[in-house]
Amino acid sequence: MCIRYASLFALGSLLLFTACREAKVTSYRVPKEESTQPVPSATEGSDMASTAVPTAHGEGLSWSAPTSWETMAPTSMRKGSYLIKGPDGATADLSITAFPGDVGGDLANINRWRGQIKLEPITAESLSSQVTSINAQGLTLKSIEMANLEIPEPQRVLGAIVGFEGNTWFFKLTGPEALVANEKSSFIAFLETIKGHSH
């Protein structure tokens, strides 16, 4: 009887050990052509547009980012991703995505961003007053800025939308209000480096 119980205990332990091992298996798919290394530092006053960025190759658009932005690993949803670090451990996130068509239109997408920082939606009538045009390398981007200072941890979003060859591209910088506000000039300079490449 003791042998039987001992055998059952050993079998149960083996199954439990196997299950724990299988739970730790994780699979990632990372495109080979995109590097996850941080952007190399450049000298003060260097031309940002001439700085090579490993993840700056999308399907139809390319760009150059400030050397202070850290290039992050690409994901299945993002064409590019950057981490911006501020004082006291603060961080902001810049995401670059692209989708076929107009993805619901500018108003819907801007209101989606507003909802992410707990702001009320705007109306179609007020949309034009919220959007600023930025001329890049032959492209015209629609840029918008929004902030919510009433939440416990105030947040700010700097965003830009541009259509290119049937796709809509989104460039969105999100993070603590002060840090994102401080990065505004760098974000605009970044947008001005965006180029379209026809196939």
User: Please, what are the domains in the chain?
Assistant: 36-196 (3.40.1000.10)
**Do 159 and 110 contact (CB within 8 A), yes or no?**
yes
**Closest C-alpha to 171, from 197, 153, 145:** 145
- Confidence at residue 3, expressed as pLDDT on a 0 to 100 scale: 45
- 147 in helix, strand or coil? strand
Provide the token pair at 153.
Answer: 């941890």
Q: What gap in Å lies between CA 124 and CA 20, rounded to an integer? A: 53
| Sign for the pseudo-dihedral over CA of 36, 113, 157, 198 | positive
**pLDDT per residue rounded down to tens, the chain (199 residues):** 544 444 444 444 444 444 444 433 333 333 333 333 333 333 333 333 333 333 334 468 999 999 999 999 878 899 999 999 999 999 999 999 999 999 999 999 999 999 999 999 999 999 999 999 999 999 999 999 999 999 999 999 999 999 999 899 999 999 999 999 999 999 999 999 999 987 6
